[in-house]
Structure 1
Amino acid sequence: MRKIATEEAFTIPEIAEAIRTRVRQGGPNLDLLLLKQLYEPSSTTPAASESNQVSNRDRAAKDMLPRLLDLDKVRLENMDTNGVDMHILSLVMPGVQLFERAQATELASLANDRLSETIRRYPKRFAGLASFAPQDPNAAAKEMERAIKKLKLHGFIVNSHTANAYLDDAQFSPILEAAEALGAPLYIHPRAPSDGMAAPFQDYRLEGAVWGYGVETATHILRLIFGGIFDRFPKLQVVIGHMGEALPFWLGRLDFMGAPGARAGRKNQLKPSEYFGRNITITTSGVEDPLALRYCIDKIGVSNIMWAIDYPFQPTAPAVAFIKTAALSETERAKIAYGNAERIFKIKT
């Protein structure tokens, strides 16, 4: 069975170095906690009670960055060993969204050029999502057009909020207009909660994938729904990972509380559940739970779900075992494993 993994991260040396510089500058942004671990593994001597934990974390961090930078040897070996046909590559969180405007625009363009070159070398193994700099929405729209029409990429990646602003903000309209006009999906990937919602996540390291990522990105999607974005841009296609950031499990309550005309639904024309299917697709990245998958199939439809690994942050073998053994019909399995990805991202077989 063909397997296309739809949320697979990479980076380039120039962006890695720019993030390392940004990490050294410090600041309150919660993303810097994870980025420091990834780009500046601890050089201090931990307390005896923490030494094993810190040592293991540092080893994992030191292994992660080389995997993100590698687009040839280790990645392809991992794919071949596990029977993965294709990675849809996207620039690792937080992309270029921590940089000032000119630097972000330049690095996004460079990353897209490198991504396009990689796909040309391995057209059967890789597809790609273009990054852009939301800091300059008009320049972002131009880069999005270049990425689709010239570089032949397959969609876009944005790491949720930028400077604590979300895509329902009027300043970002050129980005949404471009995505809809180009007919290419926009993958909204998590990052740590924005500064205004950050405080409760700090004490127990809740800011990352354990909780904060899902809460933050689900909040972003609800802002788009209740802000009427999918009514202004009815053909806009958005993809979210991690089994829909838990939103499918809330749709009954969201429909009740956020139906058109309700207090939260004053700006949306449809029920929240109706935007799933028309405008929103989910992937399974990092959630290998057959009960959750079955629920999502029954709730939002099998045609709106794609398989993903979340490489290199999640191991490949369990993700492959999950899609191979989950209690699915063969038609359902084929759609989730590759068919929906080929259709949504316009990947030629």
Structure 2
Amino acid sequence: MRKIDSYAHILPRRYFERMAELAKDKGAIKRWLTIPVLYDLDARLKMMESFPDYQQILTLSNPPIEMIAGPDVSPALARLANEEMAAIRDQHPDKFPAFVASLPMNNPAACLEEMDYAISTLGARGIQVFTNVNGRPLDEPDFWPIFDAAVKTYDVPVWMHPARGANMTDYASEKKSKFEIWWTFGWPYETSAAMTRMVFSGFFDKLPNLRVITHHMGAMIPFFDGRVGPGLDQFGSRTSDEDYEGLLKSMPKRPIDYFRMFYADTALAGGRSGLRCGLDFFGAKQVLFASDCPFDPEGGPMFIRTIPEAIDSLNLPEEDREGIYFRNALRLLKMPCC
């Protein structure tokens, strides 16, 4: 069966080299320096030979552009990333049918310019944002025009990737997050927090056609459906210094119904239980196949192999499997089926 990997990461060679030049802390990019499939296109194409009928939607890998470069440099870095991903798509359309635009989020005005160029000229099928912009939440007013344009001007989906480092501590008494807790559990928390900010900031009321693809199967939300359901039906009962009860009454839908409006991907490192939980929450029409390539212990192929094994083990109806593997992506990206 055809498989479209909707969240496959890449650092195009020229972008990768420029990123390495700009990175002040080489230790912070240690992970990315050791995975050839991430920046070596020939290595990626060779790896993909083992997977017939498999294609990738290209998304720029961590770290976020705004983490590498200041607002005066980040627009050029985003432009380089988008032009390089577009070139890879044009050179190998059978392997990489589309790419997602990257933005210099620490320069909102430049974001709008880059969106227009990347989508209107280069043909990007969506935009990628991270769950925070150097510590700033996405529901700050400065970032609203980006989401507004994605929906009203370009009608493209938004890919949302977690961003959190060891500098975001787990305990107030410490200076860093230990034991990579910032990644294992911090990333799902970060994604869930960003989703919650969107819900209660009225993103879906103001932009009912907004389509946000949350990485890693909607993070914590599906597992905590009781907390975001009956739990948040009591929104405000735990807070005395904000009128959250008034906010709840003003919302046209229950909080849990807004959370179900997000899309999710299957990038759960091959875990079966999480897939089942996410499918139960979002429904098969809101889930896209993604591998998180090449961030697996084998440096590329492992999750492309094990995630479909987990999906197929669920014995889903054929219509649901086709939707997850390729039809949902084609619909969201407005690409022809054949």
TM-score range, shorter chain: 0.7 to 0.9
How far residue 195 of structure 1 moved from its aligned partner, in angstroms, is 5.4
Q: TM-score, normalised by structure 1?
A: 0.83
Aligned mates of 1:173, 1:194 — CA distance in 2: 28
Q: 1:273 aligns with which of 242, 245, 256?
A: 256
How far residue 340 of structure 1 moved from its aligned partner, in angstroms, is 0.6
SS in structure 1 of the partner of residue 223 of structure 2? helix
Q: Answer whether contact 1:111 1:131 (CA < 8 A) is retained.
A: yes
Number of equivalent positions? 316
Counterpart of 1:172 in structure 2 is 143
Q: How does 1:21-36 map to 2 (within 5 A)?
A: 21-23=21-23, 25-26=24-25, 34-36=28-30
Q: How does 1:1-349 map to 2 (within 5 A)?
A: 1-23=1-23, 25-26=24-25, 34-39=28-33, 61=34, 64=35, 66-71=36-41, 73-98=42-67, 99-126=69-96, 127-181=98-152, 182-193=154-165, 199=171, 202-208=177-183, 210-259=184-233, 262=236, 264=244, 266=247, 268-278=251-261, 280-314=262-296, 315=302, 316-348=304-336, 349=338
Q: Answer whether contact 1:303 1:340 (CA < 8 A) is retained.
A: yes
Aligned AA (1:110)? L
Aligned mates of 1:116, 1:33 — CA distance in 2: 29
How far residue 178 of structure 1 moved from its aligned partner, in angstroms, is 1.2
Aligned AA (2:60)? L
SS in structure 2 of the partner of residue 87 of structure 1? strand
SS in structure 1 of the partner of residue 49 of structure 2? helix
Aligned mates of 1:122, 1:289 — CA distance in 2: 31
Q: Answer whether contact 2:130 2:160 (CA < 8 A) is retained.
A: yes
Q: Answer whether contact 2:275 2:311 (CA < 8 A) is retained.
A: no
Q: Which moved more, 1:257-266 or 1:217-226?
A: 257-266
Aligned mates of 1:176, 1:195 — CA distance in 2: 28
Aligned AA (1:137)? P
Q: Deviation string for 1:80-112 (max 9, x for gaps)?
A: 302352101101012312110121111111111
Q: TM-score, normalised by structure 2?
A: 0.85
Aligned AA (1:36)? K
Aligned mates of 1:19, 1:121 — CA distance in 2: 23
Aligned sequence identity (%):
27
Report the aligned-residue RMSD: 2.3
Q: Answer whether contact 1:145 1:178 (CA < 8 A) is retained.
A: no
Aligned AA (2:316)? L
Q: Answer whether contact 1:97 1:159 (CA < 8 A) is retained.
A: no
SS in structure 1 of the partner of residue 138 of structure 2? coil
- Listed as ranges, the gaps of 5+ residues in structure 1 are 27-31, 40-60
SS in structure 1 of the partner of residue 73 of structure 2? helix
Q: Answer whether contact 2:162 2:190 (CA < 8 A) is retained.
A: yes
Q: Answer whether contact 2:168 2:177 (CA < 8 A) is retained.
A: no
Aligned mates of 2:60, 2:315 — CA distance in 1: 32
Q: Answer whether contact 1:260 1:270 (CA < 8 A) is retained.
A: no
Q: Deviation string for 1:177-222 (max 9, x for gaps)?
A: 11112111111101215956565761222122x2221111211111
After superposition, the Cα gap between the structure-2 partners of 1:260 and 1:340, relative to the gap in structure 1 and judged at 3 Å, is farther
SS in structure 1 of the partner of residue 58 of structure 2? strand
Q: Deviation string for 1:17-36 (max 9, x for gaps)?
A: 3443454x34xxxxx76523
